[in-house]
Chain A
Amino acid sequence: MSDSEEDIIEGSGDEGEAMTASEVLQKLEEAWITERISPTLERHQSELVDCMLDQINQMTENLKRCKKHDFRLAIHKMEIDRIRYIISSYLRVRLEKIERFAHYLLEKEANTTEESLAVLSPHEVAYARDYISSLESHFQSLVLQHVPENLRTFDAAKMSVKPNMDSYIFLRAKQETQGVLLEDETGEGRDEEVDLEEGSQHLMRYKPISHLLHSGAVTLI
């Protein structure tokens, strides 16, 4: 069974980069950790998710067939449970943020034309839209009908929340990165530029390093 994990199973068409199951899992784990730490919603990884779900189903099928040794069965079952837990947790964290920042995310998504920069998966977009719509209908039926004219507009902007890009996060530099621009928070123009050594760890605000996160130069810890 361990042999099959080294098989090439994922080929990302455009980039021509094929990955083994363990590589896919590792990327998914990293995406999961990042998603839990990041103050905003990160780019969706539905390809990785779909791939691992497929893997789990295959593994489960294989397990059904081999009724041998209890011991090996238990270990593989635990691996399956572990992977399913990671996937579920990852998607749950995303849903939580989608619900919290629905309005902001949909607006941003509407202004994003490039598919590779999309943050929400198509199904997540549908989810966000229906969620917002359900809130609007609810407020409409419960409150707005019974309230005098001057208060009647449902101020979606007031109820919606934006992620705090200034939240502090821990990160590790995966590669040497020079010239990271840190703006002076007090607005007094004392901007700083720092160099990050490979392997170094830092505590910084999310906003200045988000582009490094997306390029893979740093990872959140």
Chain B
Amino acid sequence: MLGEKALELIKELDRCKDGQLPAFNEDIIRMVLEEMTTLFEQNQRDVYNRLDRIKAMRWEFGSILPADIRANICEPEIQWFNRYNKNLASYMRSLGEGTGLDLTQDTKPPKNLYVEAT
């Protein structure tokens, strides 16, 4: 259970009579800090994964996100999306010495001109 160790520390303190302190529980404190770090790293990964998905949206839906997706992303994520969009557009414009190329087009090889009839 999350936060179990931290709860232990609090209970330990609570059990003592007023004014008294239990021994400084280095082991449990260390475990709690480790748990915090793990949770934080997991959180970072999740934030990062969300951004990855939002990024994929740019490539799939274009620079305007469908309403149902917009409903599920927070304001900072929208700002990140806009910035990503701007950065991408800037790069695409620079291609071909300024002529520009839209990399979100031509995602599939051109179809064959002739269809084989048997």
Contact = CB atoms under 8 A, between A and B. Distances in A.
Nearest to B39: A151
The interface size bin for chain A is: 35 or more
B110 A85 contact: yes
Interface string B37-51: 100110110011001
A95 interface: yes
A214 B94 CA distance: 26
Interface stretch (A47-55, A184-192, A205-213): A47-55
Interface string B89-118: 011001111010101011111100100000
Interface of B: 33, 36-37, 40-41, 43-44, 47-48, 51, 55, 74, 76-77, 79-80, 83-84, 87-88, 90-91, 94-97, 99, 101, 103, 105-110, 113
A-B pairs, 4 with minimum CB distance: A53-B96, A81-B110, A88-B106, A123-B94
A35 B80 CA distance: 28
Interface of A: 49-50, 53-54, 57, 74-75, 78, 81-82, 84-85, 87-89, 91-92, 95, 99, 123-124, 126-127, 130-131, 134-135, 137-139, 141-143, 147-148, 150-151, 158-159
Contact of A139 (B44, B87, B88, B101): B44
Given A82-B110, A85-B106, A134-B87, A150 B95 contact: no
